Structure 1
Amino acid sequence: MPALPKRNPARRNKSATRATLTAVHDVEAPELPPSHDWHPMTLAWWMDIWASPMAPEYDDSDRHGLFILAMLVDAFWTEPSQALAAEIRLQRQCFGLSPIDRRRLQWEIERTDEAQDRGRRRRTASAGGAGKRPAADPRSVLRAVP
């Protein structure tokens, strides 16, 4: 019989990037370099990023990459191309800017109580409808025989 592999106690399969992100934070958007005339869509995108739940996860070293990404986004809005769109897609993965990127980073956006309540009501309604009585238990007619 072959020997079983030894269990490595140091391995825990835990992600170092796992985080629950909250929509409420006090991170302010850094100014984009004033040496450039920014497209309005780029400015809106920049403000959206820094208002998003991901903003507290970025540290000062991430800003350089976000500035580069802003330049790509601005170039795309000025003169769209498939090559720019592809490069933007690749670069934004590092910053968790799409749902699949957040999933890969194991970042979860905190759910509000209202959203959780809506989900519970929706599941209850689909499970049997609101206001309907549950079906009678067919086992209730069974009796023990002496």
Structure 2
Amino acid sequence: MPPLPKPAATRQRRNRASTARTLAGLPDGTVVPELPPMREWTEQTRAWWADVWASPMAGEFVDGRADIHGLYVLAVLVDEFWQDPSTGLAAEIRLQRQCFGLTPIDRRRLQWEIERGEDAQERTRRRRAQPAPAAAPTDPRSALHAV
């Protein structure tokens, strides 16, 4: 008879992720910081800044005020890219934005999930409740023939 498995409470490894979160966006009443007045920002950079702070990831930036400085640096890189695009700037932007979970793969690495609305959950529930379309059964013997 094989040994019984250990109780879950006594297992050493639980594969818990310390960064796993479900993101819901900025808490109510949070003030979105403005771009610093150190330069004339391009319209594309202003739109990018607004998109970053409207994203669900913005709630993670507010907790640590040190994050804002990294976002300012990233904003400068984005602004310079829009003024004079280069592969070097694109590569640096790609590296810097990983720190803030701004792409789907970055969120996957950080184990961040975006909170889904009730409508999305309801559509998923209805889709899963529908029966799968019945495929015509095929007889594997129909492919066999005598030579």
TM-score, normalised with respect to structure 1: 0.75
Q: Distance in 2 between matches of 1:24 and 1:121?
A: 30
Match in the other structure for 2:24: 22
Confirm or deny: 8 A CA contact 1:25 1:53 kept in the other structure: no
- Structural mapping, 1:94-109, within 5 Å: 94-109=99-114
* CA contact 1:28–1:50 (8 Å) conserved in 2: no
Are the counterparts in 1 of residues 25 and 59 from structure 2 also a CA contact under 8 Å?
no
RMSD: 2.1
In structure 1, distance between residues paired with 2:65 and 2:26: 20
In structure 1, runs of 5+ residues without a counterpart are 1-6, 130-146
- C-alpha distance 72-113 of structure 1, shift in aligned 2 (>3 A): same
- After superposition, the Cα gap between the structure-2 partners of 1:24 and 1:34, relative to the gap in structure 1 and judged at 3 Å, is closer
For structure 2, the 5+ residue unaligned runs are: 1-9, 135-147
Offset at residue 102 of structure 1 (A): 0.4
* Corresponding residue for residue 43 of structure 2: 40
Counterpart contact for 1:18–1:106, Cα < 8 Å: yes
Q: Provide the TM-score with structure 2 as the length reference.
A: 0.74
Secondary structure of the equivalent of 1:20? strand
For this pair of structures, how many residues does the alignment match? 122
